[in-house]
Structure 1
Amino acid sequence: AHLVFETVNSFLQHWPNTRMRNGHNIVPGTAPPGTLLYHGTWHSGLPPGPEWTATDPEHSILFCRNTNGEDGCWHLTLMTTRPLKVVYFDGSSAAKGPSGMMDTQDIIAWGKVQPDWAYEERDRIEALCEWGREYDVDGFVRMEMDFEVMLCNFTSSVRVVSSLTLAKPGTNPKASRMFEAIYAGSQHNRYPGETRVQLDLSGLVSFYDTELVPSLVPARFETERWTHRLLNISDEDVAQARARLGEVLSRPAYRSGSGIDWLALIRVVVDRYSERLEFVHHLLNPTGPDSGDSDNITDTAMKTQVQLGNMLAPYILVDVTPPSTLPKTKEAGLDMLDWARPAYRLCATTHTGMLKGGAMTSSEKLLLNAVHDTTREICRVVTKMWGLGVLAGVDQFMGTDNERDVHAIENMMKIWKKDIDELMAWLDWNAWVKCRPACGPEEMCYLTTWPVGFPMPHRPRPRQPENGDPRSPSPSQPPVGEEPIPTRPPRGGRPPHGEPAEDWERPQPRCIRRVDPYTI
């Protein structure tokens, strides 16, 4: 449940989907009329078939070309003329590589995960658009250094705003262009993220849905989220997931579910607890030289207790009080906290207790369970910590007749620290992943972003059609002998890979320069 919660909380945000690259969700959505899309190309005409467009021009300029020996390069700006029906793949789903970033697309395009086909982008876009034609899908939304729309048709849903020959960049063009694309993507780092696409969460298809895809459960048992992918999915679960997505894309508007704004509900929970839990964690990890003194221990415990009480304040009824005296034996255990159960129940059920599943889609029931189980665990831990603080005599408003014991308080704080550490690790909210200390004015906080800092890929030889005939050039490619249109940052001109970053597999936040010399 907590994985469904956090992945949905991260939709269309660059930061969390750069950190956890292997997406596990497919979501229908729309891009409204008047949305600008950008296409870097090698000629002035419209592509006759499916092609890639960017939501920011800094991204599409990476693919800008001119094959006639002239200065400058061609850059196309488009505007949507009607709502685009799109399908969103979360994670770094446009980043090329065999480590799982494209698994969900493979399932839809080819019916199975194809790790060796990561660079078969032309086949991929054509297969996805062919699959989506039955459901009137206009395009597919993905993310690498920024967001993109794989547009299936350039004549039925967009019109040309401009087709321009742009000037060549100045000095150090490769590094500066790549940085600017990454910087443009960083503008969508946090909620609300990329706002030009609106998702319909009532149609969510999640590969963390254990009822939809039970075959993935055993392989993930006791494994870290970094390693999760779809390699072990069964054929039956593939068929079920594809059928669910087809059903979602085919249903009429009047069957779109309960009308609950699930993202707003998830954000209410995140906004309520994110900074408060982080602050409690800060209080319990003092760094001063006198932090171990008995007076400081008691002071820290009382300050922490205030924060715990603030989180529970809407749920502490007037009759929620501890017994006046308590046994000091360890055997009493958590039964000593029975008096706090009413506060826990209210905290755990207030957001979801009145939501019923009658009009909900199967996706909404999954979301309801995700919110319910996540808030329940938060409330369990916070109520336990608060109750222990009351019993230890560090609460300003209630307590027992037992004398305050500094050693008992110190032991309690060890329990507190363990509890908050385990809760925050379990939740793993992206809001807590940040540069510490904050970056300077000429810097930005950065996570290693494909393709920069990744190992140079081993690219298998292009696949041949099943009949063995050489594959003919795709319609959007230039004539033979001229530079093919790129489906990734230019490699002739390779992007500034350099040495692989130490954290390319599990990126950690760090500050990088925003001005030359760049440090990506």
Structure 2
Amino acid sequence: MRQATFAGVALALLTQNFTRASQVPLRVDSDSWNLDVSPNINATGRLVFDTVSSFLQHWPNTRYRNGHNLVPGTVPVGTLLYHGRGDSNLPAGADWVATDPEHSVIFCRGSSEAGCWHLTLIASRPLKVLYFDGSSAAKMRDGPMDSQDVVGWGKVSPERFFDEKKRIFDLCNWGKSLEIDGYVRMEMDFEIMLCDFKEGVDVVAMANLASQGRGGPGGPRRRPQDVVHTDNSTFPPLALASVSQVIQSGSWHNRYPGDRRIKLDLTRLISFYDTSLVPSLVSKRFGLERWDHRLLGISSEDIAAVLGKLTDAYTAPPQAGSGVDWDTLFKVIVDRYGDRFELLRYVLNATSDADPLVTAKNAMSQFRVMLHPYILHAAAPVPGSADTAWATPVYKFCATSHTSYIRRSAALSALLTASEHLLLNAVEEVNREICRMVVGMWAEGVTAGLDDALPVDPPIAHDSAVLMRKWQTTVNDLMTWLDWSVWIKCRPACGFEEMCYLPTWPFGGGGGGRGGPPPRDSPDGPPASPVHPDSVAEPDYLRPQPQCVRRL
């Protein structure tokens, strides 16, 4: 009786929740609770979800280098930053600083006689910054610089991908009235384009170090395997060791929580995947693989809307927002399903000599593990019927478990910023599709009599092998749709003397993408930047795949 009562209450709450939620605009179809209805092909909630849950993490932003988000943030008081140079002068204007000294020392270049200079700085007050996600410091014409072009120049300018001196000057000039201190980017590790070395930072130390050499990590193209091999005689030993270390320091921030020295304000997030803000890009990315998503083709009207919203983010009266910890909520979803889907895929890909019925029942046990908190007592199949509509309440309960209160609470909903509405939609879209697919497979198995905890008499006749193949396809399609970088690993795992590496600029392929960079001594390039003179990028560089490289 208690179970039946609980089920009835739960179903009543669900009905109440969706009635109240109708007062808040939802970007879902009216028949979205149909287990056979998939998300709109142009829906971008999953892309918002994955990019946001990847912020400040090196691995996923190396995999998908073309960023699509602008996020205001701060660098807290007491944070150390680092800058390498050839003389003992403090930069007179804007320049680059690293969050790890392993990164900045590769720019510590001078002469063998006089050495070079390495500055350690400390934030003397909170530094106001803007974060560009993706590999936004990769000097490639294929898209990593697009969002910076939009902010600094008001248009995407692929031909200026190496115009770094002008880029940092114009970005700092644009943000001066907004009191922006710098811009956070990522290449081998994270860096900040600091606009003024006399504002908000103090010099902690100015050390005279042994020089890394004139070329640093530049020179002939090197595969990542070569970069970390100490027997490569074409690199100066000190420079070779430094390059190896900056690759490793970047890997410290590979996974969640990423580089926590930058604090992002998700209540002011701006995403180019927001179709209501940037509708012109919907058609531009249609049919493209995600590697090729970029901002090229964005309309002038959409650029104006983005820049207006970005200006408001820094000038409008502060909004406290809802107080929802979106960063953690996104992480909860990934934690809940990431490992389980890997295990489910492993179970379903059992060897060919395995008994399909046994494998199907093993898969059913995994479905039930994922759905157990949502399987209502009142939800039961119709004996002898293959219809799975009876599982709709389970689907609804599962899909709304993390967000129903946010939707039904008028007080909380009223506090949501526009950016938070985007984040809420992303969580809902991802959770809905996960639950739709898993509940659908589980319901099929129940009607086929494969769930011992919910027996059906009579079960629907089925071929276990056929059902297995169908579930294999469904799980693969779902994981492809989600496309989480937590599933991208070196297989088999690397040895202790190795590290798992994704090829990134400037190692692992041509530094200039399709077309290559200007010569190393070009006046248009940043001083002493680690570039390669290659003119053609390697395919694995544009579609990076994990590989084991030596650490020793």
Matched, 1:266 2:351: no
Counterparts of residues 199-238 of structure 1 (less than 5 Å)? 199-238=264-303
Q: Tell me, in whole angstroms, the C-alpha distance in 1 between the residues paired with 2:536 and 2:132.
A: 29
Q: Tell me, in whole angstroms, the C-alpha distance in 2 between the residues paired with 1:98 and 1:168.
A: 31
In structure 1, the residue corresponding to 2:67 is in which secondary structure? coil
What letter matches 2:299 in structure 1? S
Matched, 1:246 2:311: yes
Q: Which residue of 1 aligns with 2:431?
A: 375
How many residue pairs are counted as aligned between the two chains?
477
Q: Tell me, in whole angstroms, the C-alpha distance in 1 between the residues paired with 2:547 and 2:405.
A: 43
In structure 2, the residue corresponding to 1:322 is in which secondary structure? coil
Q: Which residue of 2 aligns with 1:479?
A: none
Q: Following TM superposition, by how much is the alpha carbon of 1:252 offset from its aligned partner in structure 2, in angstroms?
A: 2.9
Gaps of 5+ in 2: 1-44, 213-229, 231-235, 408-412
TM-score between both structures, scaled by the size of structure 1? 0.88
Counterparts of residues 82-481 of structure 1 (less than 5 Å)? 82-168=125-211, 172-253=237-318, 255-287=319-351, 290-291=353-354, 296-326=355-385, 336-356=387-407, 357-402=413-458, 408-455=463-510, 457=512, 458-459=516-517
Give the conservation status (yes or no) of the 8 Å contact 1:42–1:485. no
Q: Following TM superposition, by how much is the alpha carbon of 1:175 offset from its aligned partner in structure 2, in angstroms?
A: 2.9
Q: Deviations over 1:276-300 (max 9, x none)?
A: 111111111123x622xxxx21111
Which of 37, 45, 59 aligns to 2:89? It is 45
Counterparts of residues 13-28 of structure 1 (less than 5 Å)? 13-28=57-72
Gaps of 5+ in 1: 327-331, 465-470, 474-483, 516-520
Q: Tell me, in whole angstroms, the C-alpha distance in 1 between the residues paired with 2:535 and 2:497.
A: 22
Q: Tell me, in whole angstroms, the C-alpha distance in 1 between the residues paired with 2:519 and 2:278.
A: 32
Q: Following TM superposition, by how much is the alpha carbon of 1:264 offset from its aligned partner in structure 2, in angstroms?
A: 1.0
Q: Tell me, in whole angstroms, the C-alpha distance in 1 between the residues paired with 2:499 and 2:517.
A: 32
Q: Which residue of 1 aligns with 2:542?
A: 505
Q: Tell me, in whole angstroms, the C-alpha distance in 2 between the residues paired with 1:428 and 1:180.
A: 29
Q: Tell me, in whole angstroms, the C-alpha distance in 1 between the residues paired with 2:252 and 2:507.
A: 18
Q: Tell me, in whole angstroms, the C-alpha distance in 1 between the residues paired with 2:321 and 2:348.
A: 43
Q: Tell me, in whole angstroms, the C-alpha distance in 2 between the residues paired with 1:505 and 1:317.
A: 47
Once superposed, what is the RMSD of the aligned Cα atoms?
2.2
Give the 3 Å change call, closer, same or farther, for CA 286–395 of structure 1 in structure 2. Answer: same
Give the conservation status (yes or no) of the 8 Å contact 1:28–1:204. yes
Q: Tell me, in whole angstroms, the C-alpha distance in 1 between the residues paired with 2:444 and 2:526.
A: 64
What letter matches 2:392 in structure 1? R
Give the conservation status (yes or no) of the 8 Å contact 1:453–1:499. no
Q: Deviations over 1:122-147 (max 9, x none)?
A: 11111111111111111100000000
Give the conservation status (yes or no) of the 8 Å contact 1:104–1:230. yes
Give the conservation status (yes or no) of the 8 Å contact 2:109–2:211. no
Q: Following TM superposition, by how much is the alpha carbon of 1:64 offset from its aligned partner in structure 2, in angstroms?
A: 0.6
Q: Which residue of 1 aligns with 2:80?
A: 36
Give the 3 Å change call, closer, same or farther, for CA 132–59 of structure 1 in structure 2. Answer: same
Q: Following TM superposition, by how much is the alpha carbon of 1:502 offset from its aligned partner in structure 2, in angstroms?
A: 4.2
What letter matches 2:321 in structure 1? G
Give the conservation status (yes or no) of the 8 Å contact 1:121–1:487. no
Give the 3 Å change call, closer, same or farther, for CA 384–21 of structure 1 in structure 2. Answer: same
Q: Deviations over 1:346-368 (max 9, x none)?
A: 00111112214321111111111
Question: Where does structure 1 differ by over 6 angstroms across 4 or more consecutive aligned residues?
Answer: none
